Amino acid sequence: MKISILTDNNPGGNTGAEHGLSYFIEHEGTKILFDTGQSDLFLQNASLMGMDVEERDLIILSHGHFDHGNGLPHLPGGKLICHPGCFVKRYRTIDHTYIGLKNSRDEIAQKFDLTTSKAPLRVNDSMLFLGEIPRITDFESQQTSFSFEDGSPDFVADDSAVALQTEKGLFVITGCGHAGVVNTLEHAKKATGKQRIYGFMGGFHLKKRDRQTIETIHYLKKNRVEHVIPSHCTGLPALVAFAESFQIQSVRTGDTYTF
């Protein structure tokens, strides 16, 4: 399994960065472009890394925020999987800044071979798109700083992830983790029927050293997760807390992780 960082918040030696996320995942002969950042930077970085993202089998969009899906118009097309709620109009509540995708569902469907699913969707024998993630814990996804066009709260129900099955257990990759790390991993267990978690990587959407962060760390330790790799939207206080319990490292564009 190989995961290449095409876009993240921190720059590498010769690759640029933006507030966004885009990973290129290679596992068991399948190549997936997971998110596209907010611009064509993921393509520029891929070129600098000597990679051709056109050699992919599939695109997976984790959720419908600009910093994960606005790179899509820079691609010529291809197979695309996401939750059907990715195309809603959504805003930051504090200042009503638009943070949804620049393209509508119809525009995306005209260009891409689009499949939307709330239910878990199997990509192949070893990869699963998790679909809509149930919010079952009492410490995750309790508040939101986002809202819909009518002003009602947006808890980002379209937030999803991909679960990779390995001989050592599940390796789960998330874009932002709006649903919560624990909710995501519990759903991955249920959807795959596998209980062992080998790794968790991506945006954790944890900003502070608060109850959610501490409960998340406790869960990951209890489940003996070997690889814990927070990036993108994980705030510094939370990163410090994770560094005290796990051997984490700063994820940078241009990095490649091989497991």
Q: How many angstroms separate the most distant Cα atoms in the chain? A: 48
Which pLDDT score is estimated for 219? 98
Q: How far apart are CA 259 and CA 154, in angstroms?
A: 35
| Amino acid at site 248 | I
Which of 194, 164, 155 is closest to 65 using CA atoms? 155
Which pLDDT score is estimated for 53? 95
Q: Which class does domain 2-253 fall in? A: alpha beta
Domain ranges of the chain: 2-253
pTM of the entire predicted model: 0.96
Residue 206 pLDDT level (bands cut at 50, 70, 90): very high
pLDDT, averaged across the chain:
97
Q: How far apart are CA 128 and CA 172, in angstroms?
A: 9
Which pLDDT score is estimated for 1? 96
What does the pLDDT look like over 22-32, one tens digit per residue?
A: 999 999 999 99
Which pLDDT score is estimated for 8? 97
Q: Which residues pair with 147 in a beta bridge?
A: 91, 153
